[in-house]
Amino acid sequence: MLCTKKYEVEFEELAGKKAVLAGDFHFKSKHRVQSVIKKINGQNADYIFYIGDYTEKVPANYVIEELSKVNAPVFSVLGNHDMPEEEFKTLPNLLNNRNIQRDGITIAGVDYYTPDIQKALENANAPVILLSHNPDIYPKVPERVRLILSGHTHGGQVTLFGKTLVTPSKYGFGKGLINNRLIITGGTGTSIIPARLFNPPEITVIEFTSKSK
């Protein structure tokens, strides 16, 4: 089962456009790679953001090649499971502590193990979208960053009564839209324990709106 979680975010410069946020894939089969790509392409998005933890049992070069075959521009960062980093250097628009200007906005990203926000935002023009595998970077991000996209937590993988039981976030982050500025995707895969409870795997769809909406 792979669900689609949708959020509307006010972002005047991108109003009317759509993005897919996906990550924490932890791919264990090529079949799963293909099912995730099919789900992403079905959204007909304008941007696709990958936030790390790409594979466990499937060769990295296969995963990267297939994840690049989506129908929108891709921007990516690495997660804590993407080691050695050399194997993932061919990910499209890999934003490890750097940024790219696109469509009148800045898309920036930080590395998981050596996050350098200042370097990632160097010469960045507002508005900025920042990719970070770990959502715990949130309190350190300057206000000029309009939107932060993260994962890592898997939404806790197991929830009861809508609450996350265990999360790797020191702030207790699970998943969802926080303060209308941070979006944490629940991820498409599993880690350590190959199971989810009341917390299905997901890709996250972001619909950008204007103030007048």
* pLDDT tens per residue, range 96-112: 999 999 999 999 999 99
**Residue type present at position 97:** N
The Cα 37–Cα 33 span in angstroms is 6
| The predicted structure's pLDDT at residue 200 | 81
Say if CB 53 and CB 23 are below 8 A apart: yes
| The predicted structure's pLDDT at residue 21 | 98
Say if CB 55 and CB 27 are below 8 A apart: yes
Q: Using alpha carbons only, give the angle 45, 196, 191 rounded to the nearest 5 degrees.
A: 80
CA dihedral 176, 146, 139, 124 (to 10 degrees): 140
CA 117 to chain centre: 17
Lowest average pLDDT, out of 70-79, 113-122, 172-181, 187-196, goes to 187-196
Query: Span 45-63, mean pLDDT?
Result: 97
| Phi, psi torsion values for 65, nearest 5 degrees | -60, -45
Residue 84 CB-density burial (10 A; 0-12 exposed, 13-18 middle, 19+ buried): exposed
Per-residue confidence at 184, pLDDT binned at 50, 70, 90? very high
Per-residue confidence at 192, pLDDT binned at 50, 70, 90? low
Lowest average pLDDT, out of 13-27, 51-65, 89-103, 164-178, goes to 164-178
Query: Span 147-156, mean pLDDT?
Result: 83
Q: Is the pLDDT of residue 213 over 60?
A: no
Per-residue confidence at 163, pLDDT binned at 50, 70, 90? low
| The predicted structure's pLDDT at residue 169 | 65
What are the b/e assignments for 138-167, b being 16+ CB within 10 Å? beebeeebbbbbbbbbbbbbebeeeebeeb
The Cα 107–Cα 100 span in angstroms is 5
Query: Span 69-97, mean pLDDT?
Result: 96
> What domains are defined for the chain?
3-209 (3.60.21.10)
Query: Span 123-131, mean pLDDT?
Result: 93
